Structure 1
Amino acid sequence: MYVDTSIIAYLFDRVFGEFNFIRHPVVLMGDYILWFEKRFYQSSVIRGIWLAVSLVAVVFSLSCGVQYLLSEWLHPTLQILVSGIIGSVTIASKMLYDSVKDIIVNPQDINYLVSRDTKHLSASDIHRAAIETYAENLSDGVIAPFLYLLIFGIPGAFVYKSINTLDSMVGYKNKRYEKFGKFSARLDDIANYIPARITAILITLVMPKNKNSVKNIPLYRFYRYGRRHDSPNAGHPIAAMALSLGIKLGGPASYFGKIKKKAWFGEGRESITENDITRALSFQRRFNILFLLCSGLLLWV
């Protein structure tokens, strides 16, 4: 396991965030997807498989090459440090936190975070969307890449990001991507299956409870609501956050001018306030404490 590398990666991201002076690897992955789609698109599952396999193969080969060169060229201590810095670009903890916190001051920025129609959202709807985004992306943007980096090193984290990028760009159930993006969507479901549930458990464990929270939330309680989501994974951290805050997330939302009936997650208030966003973001501080304690234990052992 790449314990030292993953710890450095997480801490580096928490302190420094994104590298704005370079073209982010995820952007480069997106460029490849756009190029492939422009040249080879067909409404075909097979063509979609070729897209996913080719991108994953390229990313795996390059990241394995980087990891090999670091091991050959650098002293072991420097190798761990550089690997951690490289690995940090796959984790988006600081960016996610800052983006959601910004909604409290600039609610109009919600259109950068969600795919639903935002023009006619009420204040409560904006707050709900921000919390849903935060909970869901704790898995996709923080816990999942960290786990893959911890277990498989740089190749694992970057391959995961390639799969996640594929899903975010072509994994839609619409006329254009229903077949072309089907394999990418299923691949993402598999890659996020365990991380999503670990994220939900972490939220249940570390979130502060108050009079509005559901009392004595069992670790499996989130599953009751989470399985109602269209995605086999996204609903679990959302449900865990809703139960911890004592609010309801989800519900009907407008996409491309049409209302989509979505399930409700959690129990409690449907009216969401700025304070609920602040409470949701408190997960970060508590998780950091847990992370440091566990990291210290792993390093000591």
Structure 2
Amino acid sequence: MFFELAMLAYLIDMIFGELPCKHPVVWMGDFINVFERRFYSNRILPGALLVISLLLLTLLISITLVYLCGFLPVYLSFSILAILASTGLAMNMLHASVAAILTSEQPRQALSFLVSRDTEAMTETEVYKAALETWAENLSDGVIAPLFYLLLFGLPGIAAYKVINTLDSMIAYKTERYFYFGKTAAILDDIANFIPARLTAMLIVLLAADKQRAWQYALRDGNKLESPNAGFPIAALAGGLGVGLAGDAYYHGQLKHKPTLGSRLNPVNHNTLDQALKMKTGINFLVLTVLTIGIWLS
């Protein structure tokens, strides 16, 4: 049943993209902001209570929706659940957002909507490098990971993952304000993305022009970043394209030293990003193929 649900949800996202309504992630963000305003303290306990309360609330809502849909005709129930699940998938939005950098008259500004690093003083090469890293990392966070938890646990699974991912993007920073408050969210996000990040790297390897180099770099460089997960899809993409990604970057005015993933065999430019974004067709094909096999075997 979950394979059929995932198939329809993925097709809805492919065809329609973001639905014209307030996104569930926005509601989650609102909850986080209200909780932080009222109960913030840079300690582990308040941050953990935020994680637990939002997870429990989201699971309660999603499980209730599944229960209520059980009273509807099967085709209607299945369609509603698939539409709800599709809001947790972001292939169309991710691709469109990153592709906008290729056509924008102000690529630094377009990039600033996607990354937390400082973009004002970036060179053209740095803009394209950051866009490639965003594309690779968010293929895991926005596509493969939510799909993975949808297949395992249905609507409650993808909803819970979006809670974890949203918390990570809002409070899991190693800054003075969030170092302890966001620690629980950061640890939980690391755990939740452990398998999906490596599946994403494997997917990129399968679609890479140089599969052997993509595989070698994913193994060699995947664990070099501070995050235990983000480096794997980025390193695989760097290997497939023959470029160097990551490296030093400015965040909130502070220079952060990061290792380079891959090797600078080819320049990073407009064509490099365009080549990476063309992987979307192959990703869609492979995902739909896997889901079709799952439906056939289940």
Normalising by structure 2, report the TM-score: 0.95
Matched residue, 2:205 = 204
SS of the residue 1:168 aligns to: helix
Q: Aligned runs of 1:186-197 on 2, under 5 Å?
A: 186-197=187-198
Equivalent pair of 2:248/2:259 in contact (CA under 8 Å): yes
SS of the residue 2:46 aligns to: helix
Equivalent pair of 2:214/2:238 in contact (CA under 8 Å): no
Matched residue, 2:257 = 261
**Quick one: structure 1 residues 237 and 115, their matched pair in 2 at CA, closer, same or farther if it must change by over 3 Å?**
same
User: 2:291 and 2:139 mapped to 1: Cα distance?
Assistant: 19
Q: Which amino acid aligns with 1:78?
A: L
1:223 and 2:219 aligned = yes
1:12-63 CA distance string (max 9 Å, x none): 001111113x211101101001101111111110111111000000000000
User: 2:35 and 2:266 mapped to 1: Cα distance?
Assistant: 43
The alpha-carbon deviation at position 223 of structure 1 amounts to: 2.9
Q: Which amino acid aligns with 1:297?
A: I
User: 1:89 and 1:292 mapped to 2: Cα distance?
Assistant: 18
Matched residue, 1:176 = 177
The alpha-carbon deviation at position 75 of structure 1 amounts to: 1.9
SS of the residue 2:212 aligns to: coil
User: Matched residues, percent identical?
Assistant: 44
Equivalent pair of 2:218/2:235 in contact (CA under 8 Å): yes
Q: Aligned runs of 1:251-290 on 2, under 5 Å?
A: 251-269=247-265, 271-290=267-286
SS of the residue 2:205 aligns to: helix
Gaps of 5+ in 1: none
SS of the residue 1:43 aligns to: coil
Matched residue, 1:245 = 241
Q: Which amino acid aligns with 1:3?
A: F
Equivalent pair of 2:214/2:237 in contact (CA under 8 Å): no
Q: 2:75 aligns with which of 58, 68, 77?
A: 77
User: 1:133 and 1:76 mapped to 2: Cα distance?
Assistant: 39
CA RMSD for the aligned pairs?
A: 1.4
**Quick one: structure 1 residues 60 and 220, their matched pair in 2 at CA, closer, same or farther if it must change by over 3 Å?**
farther
User: 1:286 and 1:238 mapped to 2: Cα distance?
Assistant: 17
User: 1:256 and 1:167 mapped to 2: Cα distance?
Assistant: 17
User: 2:57 and 2:161 mapped to 1: Cα distance?
Assistant: 13
Q: Aligned runs of 1:6-155 on 2, under 5 Å?
A: 6-20=6-20, 22-71=21-70, 73-106=71-104, 107-108=107-108, 109-155=110-156
Matched residue, 2:232 = 236
**Quick one: structure 1 residues 110 and 161, their matched pair in 2 at CA, closer, same or farther if it must change by over 3 Å?**
same
Normalising by structure 1, report the TM-score: 0.94
SS of the residue 1:216 aligns to: helix
SS of the residue 1:232 aligns to: coil
User: 2:84 and 2:293 mapped to 1: Cα distance?
Assistant: 24
Per mean C-alpha deviation after superposition, the further-off stretch among 253-262 and 119-128 is 253-262
1:299 and 2:295 aligned = yes
User: 2:193 and 2:252 mapped to 1: Cα distance?
Assistant: 27
User: 2:217 and 2:247 mapped to 1: Cα distance?
Assistant: 19
Q: Which amino acid aligns with 1:69?
A: L
User: 2:196 and 2:84 mapped to 1: Cα distance?
Assistant: 21
Equivalent pair of 2:164/2:185 in contact (CA under 8 Å): yes
The alpha-carbon deviation at position 118 of structure 1 amounts to: 0.7
User: 1:162 and 1:216 mapped to 2: Cα distance?
Assistant: 36
Equivalent pair of 1:4/1:80 in contact (CA under 8 Å): no
